[in-house]
Amino acid sequence: MKKLSLLMALGLGLGVVGCGDDTAETSTTDTGTADTATDTGSGSTDTGTTDTGTADTGTADTGTAEDTTPVPTDEQFSGPFSYVWRLQIPQSGTDAECCFDFTADGVTDNGLGTLIGALGAIAPDVNIQTTLDGAVADGSIALLLEYAGLDETTKTGPTQLWFYLGTNDVDGDGSGDQAWDTALKAGEGIFQVQPTSLAADGSPLIKFESAEIDSNTLSAGPGDFPLTIPIPGLLTLDVTIKQAQIEADVRPEASGIFTNDADIDSDGDGTPEVWGGGKLGGVIPVDQVIGILNDLANDCACAGIAPDAAVIIAGEGTDQYDVACDPTITINDGACTDADGVICGNLSTVCGFAPALPTLGLIDVDTNGNTIPDAISVGLRLSMSGAALAATPVAP
């Protein structure tokens, strides 16, 4: 199990992603499997080279071609950029807070908010939002977006979204070079890209390959999106968000792309609260979460757990996603200390709680069409300002 520091929180620094609806069609010969799906997407007509390959025997494609992926012609690190100066996790409240409807019932879904709200009730001293705010303000989390291939003059049209971890400590003295609350939020920030967000060849690890800015709306996805979310003192969610998408109310300025805040009365008291104008959402298969918990449990030798034990047994049952600890595994967590981590010392509590997990309402999306929810919807609000890069990425 990877124990990731807060630096990696939402740092998007792990894993390789294949994002976007369609991979760009760049070859001239069709060597792939016959197309059997109807293309229902929108976008501009595919104007690429004529396909001279084997005839496609699949269902006729009656939709508009979805191949809008621009091939960036400008250099990496040339911008335009955004700096994410606020990440908000709605924990309860109104439908408008965040972010997307994954169940086609017209109501947005956010099981992550439900989970964090529940954690807040169980452990009031663990405030995820305060932790996130602090990490962004002190530079531990400096998330940058590059709009690759975006028209540099109009800052609109098709683009790719490339994500980087950055630092404002360009001079390397250990502290940020500019004030977060004024300069960075105002779009005056100058950053350097951290190598943890780059592949061996220097290209970005995390990206939405198909995105667009149109009429002040930035949209991207849906696609797969790897993400790391630490829950301090409990666990680190290291997951791939499925059906990930971004939608943001943006305005292009000289220094980059800014979000426009959204005023939403999230607590229903008649006075609106300020939310970031960007929305990032998707669903996390529960199987991934159970895998993380079992990885954590496998580190609990102090409780008598074998390194390869499947402590938690989970999966879709006849009417719900069932979760329970293996009753044949004996847990002696009383022998664990704080040094063994929060999970090991509370493993029997976790196991006592596990069967109740499906009843909390956070497993809320069915991803395989059998009507049994098997995934947790998530949503974050983003606030962004323009930004610039100082130099090539810092050396590894």
CA separation for the pair 2, 228 (Å, rounded)? 10
If you ran DSSP here, which 8-state letter would residue 136 be given?
H
Short-list 370, 215, 235, CA closest to 291: 235
Nearest approach, Cβ of residue 220 and Ca ion (Å): 20
* Residue closer to Ca ion (CB basis): 247 or 265: 265
Candidate list 153, 271, 318, 328; residue touching Ca ion; CB under 5 A: 271
If you ran DSSP here, which 8-state letter would residue 64 be given?
P
Nearest approach, Cβ of residue 109 and Ca ion (Å): 4
* Residue closer to Ca ion (CB basis): 118 or 170: 170
Candidate list 39, 97, 109, 238; residue touching Ca ion; CB under 5 A: 109
Binding mask 60-99 for Ca ion (x = CB under 5 A): ----------------------------------------
CA separation for the pair 227, 271 (Å, rounded)? 33
Candidate list 60, 254, 370, 396; residue touching Ca ion; CB under 5 A: 370
Nearest approach, Cβ of residue 168 and Ca ion (Å): 7
CA separation for the pair 67, 375 (Å, rounded)? 28
Binding mask 298-337 for Ca ion (x = CB under 5 A): ----------------------------------------
CA separation for the pair 70, 74 (Å, rounded)? 11
154's CB contacts (< 8 A; 6+ apart) are 252
Residue 366 within binding range of Ca ion, rule CB under 5 A: yes
Per CB under 5 A, which region of 84-92, 152-160, 181-189, 362-370 contacts Ca ion?
362-370
Nearest approach, Cβ of residue 59 and Ca ion (Å): 25
Nearest approach, Cβ of residue 178 and Ca ion (Å): 9
Nearest approach, Cβ of residue 286 and Ca ion (Å): 10
Candidate list 105, 308, 319, 338; residue touching Ca ion; CB under 5 A: 105
Candidate list 183, 372, 388, 390; residue touching Ca ion; CB under 5 A: 372
Residue 364 within binding range of Ca ion, rule CB under 5 A: no
CB 170 within 8 A of CB 177: yes
Residue 107 within binding range of Ca ion, rule CB under 5 A: yes
CA separation for the pair 88, 266 (Å, rounded)? 13
Number of chain positions touching Ca ion (CB under 5 A): 19
Q: Which residue's Cβ lies closest to Ca ion?
A: 103
Per CB under 5 A, which region of 69-77, 199-207, 353-361, 370-378 contacts Ca ion?
370-378
If you ran DSSP here, which 8-state letter would residue 109 be given?
B
Nearest approach, Cβ of residue 170 and Ca ion (Å): 7
Nearest approach, Cβ of residue 254 and Ca ion (Å): 25
Residue 182 within binding range of Ca ion, rule CB under 5 A: no
Short-list 364, 377, 363, 370, CA closest to 314: 363
CA separation for the pair 277, 255 (Å, rounded)? 18
Nearest approach, Cβ of residue 368 and Ca ion (Å): 4
Q: Which amino acid is at 197?
A: S
Per CB under 5 A, which region of 17-25, 107-115, 120-128, 249-257 contacts Ca ion?
107-115
The token pair that represents 96 in the structure block:
């408008």
212's CB contacts (< 8 A; 6+ apart) are 68, 157, 158, 159, 218, 219, 220
Candidate list 333, 374, 385, 386; residue touching Ca ion; CB under 5 A: 374
Question: Which parts of the chain fold into alpha helices (H)?
Answer: 111-122, 128-137, 286-298, 342-345, 347-353
DSSP E strand boundaries for the chain: 81-88, 143-148, 157-167, 189-193, 206-214, 217-231, 235-253, 256-259, 262-264, 273-275, 278-285, 312-316, 321-325, 363-365, 375-389
Binding mask 141-180 for Ca ion (x = CB under 5 A): ----------------------------x-x-x-x-x---
Task: List contacts with Ca ion (CB under 5 A).
Answer: 101, 103, 105, 107, 109, 169, 171, 173, 175, 177, 265, 267, 269, 271, 366, 368, 370, 372, 374
